[in-house]
Structure 1
Amino acid sequence: MQRNYSREVGRVANRLRDKVAVVTGAASGIGEAIARSMVEEGASVLLADIADSKGKAVAGELGDSAEFVHCDVTSESDIRALVDRAVDQHGRLDCMVNNAGVVGASGPIDALSVDDFELATSVLLRSVFLGTKHAARVMKPQGSGVILATTSIAGVQGGWGPHLYAAAKSGVIGLTRNVAAELATWGIRAVAIAPGKIVTPMTAGRVAGDSNDLAATTEAFKSRTPLRGHIGLPRDVAAAAVWLASDEAGFVSGTTIMVDGGLTTGSKENLAPEDLGSWAQPQR
């Protein structure tokens, strides 16, 4: 059953027909939405996560086009086995989505520990390196492929997230750009996706104090979006991922796609038209 924080968006069916994708962190939130959308668009998807029961349940709902694989994204042997399984099962890997993540520790910089740093960089950056490395290993002989990484607006601008989270997400953007420059020679694209405030179990844990309280998080985010009447949902990020993985985005590489409702443009949250100041009325 579709989670109540999802929303159907307009799509063109079968954009990923016959493609094979791996999505990490696919048991819930953005990763789940990406996996669901890719299956809907015709892809065969391996859902990777450490949350076995949730991941198996999602894969079970998606049917024969989906398979759950237990994977610790900080473990190179797990990532290697995950990528190899995709190739063994389907003969190729067309899209690697490095999405798994945590918020990690927050607080003043002088209160953070080295262990806090190691956790954040391991889950948020090391995992992307490993996923990218092993995806490239099998995509280079193919001469094609797409590697996507979930970053964050916190990796683009200061003040949107905890220090270590922001540092790791910035690293994801830098790695994506550099990898895109190398892999273009093999026809492989690499793109980062930077979500803004999206209603997920992870954000609910911070906003509502309960990862299951998506309703309270949805209500809170209604006043935290520049796009009046539109809050960020996992399906918004999934729609971007599907497009980027498809041939429609065949000339897009090495960039970061913002899915943030305009927050990083400097747009103000929850403004009414009459509150737009110098933009409210013509002035000469």
Structure 2
Amino acid sequence: MAGRLDGKVAVITGGVSGIGLGTVELFVAEGAKVVAADIQDEKGAMLERRFGGQVRYARCDVTLEADIAAAVGLAKSEFGGLDILFNNAGISDMMRTVAEIEPERWSWIFDVLVRGPALGIKHATPLMLERGGGSIINTASIAGLQAGWGPLAYSSAKAAVVHMSRCAAAQLSPQKIRVNAICPGLIATSIFGASLGLPREVADQMAARVAENAPKAQPIPKAGMPEDIAQAALYLASDASVFMTGQHLVVDGGITVGSRHSWDPEAASPLMALFADFAPQPG
């Protein structure tokens, strides 16, 4: 049976752990050749050994344009071109209020989460034009859609990713290059621990805590896993979404459908509480 990405070549940033790794695994299973771009060299080497000639690792700090250009260029030199770019590399921060803004850290967050994907789009576009088009996918977040789901700088940057995807889609659609974003909800990865300033090893352990507790906080009582986002990325990367561009796909277990009382019958409705005094009294 043919894979949905047979003959396709993809670059995935942040590709050796979390959502990126889950997407590498799924894309390879669907027939793609993949460049996994990241800064975790040991994991990258292991990934190359695991998948043989189907995956190449590129050391890529997405705050460095030369690294991004090299990772994209590796797709052409190793696999003949580029059809799919998944701008997925991400970090978080601890700036939760305006009073806590640190200018240098704020700039770093935007460099990784917004400038990095923008430069990825810049360098991917010429190679996609050589192939007659392509698909660009950017990882945004529900934090970019609603307040309360992430720190201040992270949330602001993810909102920028949503709008940048829309604007880039408008510019590139005549060249048959589609641009969309994915807005994950609570996904069991290390980014939550990283946002608390924990070391990488400890942050990795936080993923298990998210997997355990997230189902209690959303309508779908299942932990969000990297493969859930990978499936959304597969849809956006494949020809199944050929009529879709400039959109943000929310994959969040329903957590943003409404306040808790909208889906939990045991939760009190704030609206009903406002009119409690007008309710008919028994007897």
| TM bucket, shorter chain | 0.7 to 0.9
* 1:179-218 mapped onto 2 (5 Å cutoff): 179-206=168-195, 210-213=202-205, 214-218=207-211
Task: Report the structure number with the largest CA radius of gyration.
Answer: 2
Q: Which residue of 2 aligns with 1:6?
A: none
Q: Which moved more, 1:207-216 or 1:42-51?
A: 207-216
Q: 1:208 & 1:216 partners in 2: Cα distance?
A: 16
On the 8 A contact 1:226/1:270 being kept in 2, the answer is: no
TM-score by length of 1: 0.87
Distance 1:222 1:265, change over 3 A: closer
Residue 255 of structure 2 corresponds to 263
1: CA distance, partners of 2:262 / 2:194? 23
Shift in Å at residue 83 of structure 1?
Answer: 1.0
SS in 1 for 2:165: helix
Q: Deviations over 1:225-253 (max 9, x none)?
A: 2212x121110000000111011111111
Count of aligned positions: 266
In structure 2, what is the Cα distance between the partners aligned to 1:100 and 1:269? 34
Report 1:58-77 matches (<5 A).
58-77=47-66
Contact kept? 2:91, 2:191, Cα under 8 Å:
yes
How much does 1:13 deviate?
5.9
Taking the aligned partners of 1:155 and 1:226, their CA distance within structure 2 comes to 20
Which amino acid counterpart does residue 175 of structure 1 have in structure 2?
A: M
**Residues 55 and 68 in structure 1, CA contact (< 8 A), matched pair in contact too:** yes
Deviation of the 1:105 alpha carbon: 3.0
CA distance in 2 between counterparts of 1:99 and 1:113 reads 24
Matched, 1:113 2:140: no
Q: CA 1:269–1:257 in structure 2 vs 1: closer, same or farther (change >3 Å)?
A: farther
Q: Which residue of 1 aligns with 2:126?
A: 137
Matched with 1:224 is 217
Report deviation, 1:154: 0.6
> Counterpart of 1:211 in structure 2: which amino acid?
A
How big is each residue's C-alpha offset from its partner over 1:120-169, in whole Å with a ceiling of 9 and x where there is no partner?
Answer: 10111110111011111221233210000000001111121111001111
Which structure 1 segments of 5+ residues have no match?
A: 1-11, 279-284
Aligned match of 2:278:
none
Contact 2:38 2:44 in 1 (8 A): yes
**2:186 alignment partner, SS class:** coil
Percent identity reads 39
How far does residue 87 in structure 1 lie from its aligned partner after superposition? 1.1
**Contact 2:133/2:177 (<8 A) preserved:** yes
3-state SS of paired residue (2:204): coil
Moved more, 92-101 or 104-113: 104-113
1:95 paired residue among 58, 66, 84: 84
Alpha-carbon distance in 1 for matches of 2:45, 2:2: 25
Q: Take 2:117 and 2:150, find their aligned partners in 1: how far apart are those partners? A: 19
Letter in 1 for 2:216: S
| Cα distance, 1:268 vs structure 2 | 2.5
Equivalent-residue separation in structure 2 for 1:194 and 1:276 (angstroms)? 28
C-alpha contact (below 8 Å) 2:35/2:56 kept by paired residues: yes
Map of 1:281 onto structure 2: none
The question of whether the paired residues in 2 share the 8 Å contact of 1:224 and 1:270 is answered with no
Query: Could you tell me which residue of structure 1 aligns to residue 24 of structure 2?
Result: 35
Alignment RMSD: 2.2
Q: What is the CA distance between 1:217 and its match in structure 2?
A: 2.5
Do the aligned residues in 1 keep the contact of 2:5 with 2:31 (CA within 8 Å)? yes
> 236, 239, 246: which is aligned to 1:244?
236
Distance in 2 of aligned mates of 1:205 and 1:271: 30
Relative distance call for 1:33 and 1:54 in structure 2 (3 A) is: same
TM-score normalised by the chain length of structure 2:
0.88
1:17-64 per-position Cα deviation (integer Å, ceiling 9, x unaligned)? 110000000111111111111011110000000111112223322232
Match of 2:274 in 1: none
Q: Does 1:46 align with 2:35?
A: yes
Q: Distance in 1 between matches of 2:152 and 2:158?
A: 10
CA distance in 2: counterparts of 1:102 and 1:120, whole angstroms: 7
